[in-house]
Amino acid sequence: MKRMSLRLKNKLVRTVSKLSLDERVSSDSTGNFDLQNKKDSEPVPTTVTDDETEDEEEEPKKIWKVMITGGAGHLAVCLVEKILEMAQRDIVEGVKSDSDEEFERILPFFEHLDRLRKLEKTKKDDIISTRLSDYLQIILIDLAYPEEGSLNPFCAFAQGSFADENFIKPLLENVTTIFHLAAVGMTGRFARDREACMQINSVGTMNLLSWARDKGVKQFIYTSSVGVIFGGDPLINIKESDRDHTENFFNFYCESKAHAENIVRQASYENMKTTVLRFSGIYGVGEKRVTERVINFMKTGWWIAVFKSNGVEAQTQLSSVDNCVQGLIKAELALRHKDSKNGQIYNIVDRHPVGTFSFWAPVDQALGFPKQKLTLPPIVLRVLARSIQSSSDFFGVEPFFTVFEAELLLVTTTFSTARAARELGYDPYPSAIPEICRRYASSEASATFEQERARRANNFLKKMTLIVLVGHAALYISYFFVYYILLAVSYIVHAISSCLWALIGFFFAAIRFFWSCISIFFY
């Protein structure tokens, strides 16, 4: 109980308050109080109150039970950390007692203040740990098991699909909030399977909403992608209400997400409120799908060019992991209010637009590569992306680079966060690029690191030289190849035209001969 758990501190406050100032400051080297002047038989006066002898009956607080689909992913791990931080902060506020002010007042009289503060902190930490399980429960759902060390001890993990009714229904008992992060088709074997994407991402989400409503879930937050409105045309400071879903989806993932958005919005009502959050290229320290993939490519030294249309770089706004977590938490908090808007869509992206290539340039330079890059027209990257994707589809393997990713790099896509700021209180954090540089490119330039930087720079220059030489060779080969093809075509055309003229001459000669014969016959 709240007061019973602080009985020891209350006794200490009352006991020490009755000591004289001299007695308070006369302590031995071990931190024990010198009470030799007091008789051993003399009891220390204490007053026991009713609050200390009787348990105070408190109304049981309702547990905040959270379910997170896609619970093995990096975003889910960061979301769990933030939820636990919120819960611990609430518990700390709850364990504060009326004697805190008095306790802080008398502590300076002790010589060993630090030790006493540590004891007090340890006691509060024990209280927080004890009460956390009574305050919060988190269930993580995923087909893949979390990486070793990433599963928080305060979380329960269940391995399975959110679209499996027999699996998910028992887990929904007493759940208050669902963060639906899971989806398939962005990469992997489902990327080319439209039926699987629609069945899991769209129909599966619809079923999860139905089961959640039956179990009394109050808040449902769905994560989507800006790909649902991107069809290849530029998007400039787009608001959520400016554009409907595109009809030219780049992949089945975006198509299924668009259908799921409509389902989630229409499912919102008073007893279970829903919200849709749109992210754009989630990145951050520890994030694998974008960040570590880009960095691993940089380390190969093959990032030797940028692609600009008429010398102008496309602009974009990505979504850092911290901003995604902030959006998820603030969306959940907003849905708790009775008069809150629900069934809405919010853009959750970084504050400022950045160049699609220059955004990653600080990381590349921190890894030791030169700043100078070749500048090529966008058509080169488009042809390369289509070639890679077509080859991957033909051989049934996952593409290293897709047409969708190429278009996001070549076409400007920026978004307005005004609605999220106004209705959720969303306030984007600064870019995570400096933190990424510190994490993946050591700021302590040791000798080994400097050697690695020099090696990368040399490899980069060698590869760039190779590309230039191969490019020139290809141009010369193409020139001679095209020259001889055109020459052969010209000979063929000349021969055909000569034959045609000969046929025409023969035709007119035959007509003249026939006319001569007719003239002789009649005349």
Q: Cite the active site residues.
A: 257
Query: Quick one: CA torsion of 5, 9, 11, 15, rounded to 10 degrees?
Result: 180
Closest to 359 measured CA to CA, from 439, 294, 271: 294
* Residue 75 to residue 323: CA distance in whole angstroms: 11
Per DSSP, 105 falls in state: H
For the beta carbon of residue 279, count every other beta carbon within 10 angstroms: 23
Long-range contacts of range 3-6, CB-CB < 8 Å, 24 or more positions apart?
3/51, 3/52, 3/56, 3/97, 4/51, 4/52, 4/55, 4/56, 5/95, 5/127, 6/95, 6/97, 6/99
H-state helical runs in 396-446: 403-410, 418-424, 433-440
Please check whether residue 423 is in contact with residue 334, taking contact to mean a CB–CB distance below 8 angstroms: yes
* Residue 104 to residue 462: CA distance in whole angstroms: 66
* Residue 523 to residue 518: CA distance in whole angstroms: 8
Contacts of 155 (CB under 8 A, 6+ apart): 71, 80, 138, 139, 140
Distances from the Cα of 99 to the Cα of 3, 106, 215, 367, angstroms:
11, 11, 43, 54
* Residue 350 to residue 222: CA distance in whole angstroms: 19
For the beta carbon of residue 364, count every other beta carbon within 10 angstroms: 24
